[in-house]
Amino acid sequence: MQRAMQYIRQINKTIDHSMVADYYNIISQIKDIEKNKFNDEFTSFKKLNRLKRILTLSNNRYHQRALSIPPLKFPQDLPISAKKQDIIDSIKNNQVTIITGETGSGKTTQIPKCVLWPVAA
């Protein structure tokens, strides 16, 4: 079972970069293996190898999605774009941020991008 625990450690190292849809299924199956529900070691390794394949595919999908995120652009003709850094700082430093502006200033379209900006940058 020592070798199985090494497999589990390898899986746990990369599971954070898997798709959410796969994450909980993998965790659940690892718990079953750790509880030694499968009495023979062959069955445990068979399940662990299957989980490693699922995790590899899931990690690949995760990274492909991360690479396909389009760059965030802030049109300079919108007044709210000039205040982008002030908005980001205010959101980071305050529990509540109230933003007002004229109709058409970009509040609805640009503020969500400001919230994503620190993550995407």
Q: pTM value? A: 0.60
Give percent above pLDDT 70 in the chain.
92
User: Within this chain, do residues 9 and 43 fall inside the same structural domain, yes or no?
Assistant: yes
User: Within this chain, do residues 12 and 54 fall inside the same structural domain, yes or no?
Assistant: yes
Q: Report yes or no on 38 lying in a domain.
A: yes
Q: Report yes or no on 72 lying in a domain.
A: no
User: Within this chain, do residues 40 and 83 fall inside the same structural domain, yes or no?
Assistant: no
User: Within this chain, do residues 63 and 90 fall inside the same structural domain, yes or no?
Assistant: no
Counting the structural domains of the chain, the total is 2
Q: Which domain holds residue 99?
A: 79-120
User: Within this chain, do residues 57 and 31 fall inside the same structural domain, yes or no?
Assistant: yes
**What is the reported pLDDT for 19?**
93
User: Within this chain, do residues 60 and 85 fall inside the same structural domain, yes or no?
Assistant: no
For tokens 């079972």, name the residue: 1
User: Within this chain, do residues 31 and 52 fall inside the same structural domain, yes or no?
Assistant: yes
Among 4-8, 16-20, 45-49, which stretch is predicted with the lowest mean pLDDT?
A: 4-8
Contacts of 2 (CB under 8 A, 6+ apart): none
Q: Report yes or no on 30 lying in a domain.
A: yes
User: Within this chain, do residues 12 and 62 fall inside the same structural domain, yes or no?
Assistant: yes
The model's pLDDT over 32-76, given as tens digits with 9 standing for 90+, comes to 888 876 667 788 888 889 999 999 999 999 999 988 888 888 899
Helices (H), ranges, the chain: 2-14, 20-34, 41-67, 79-82, 84-93, 107-120
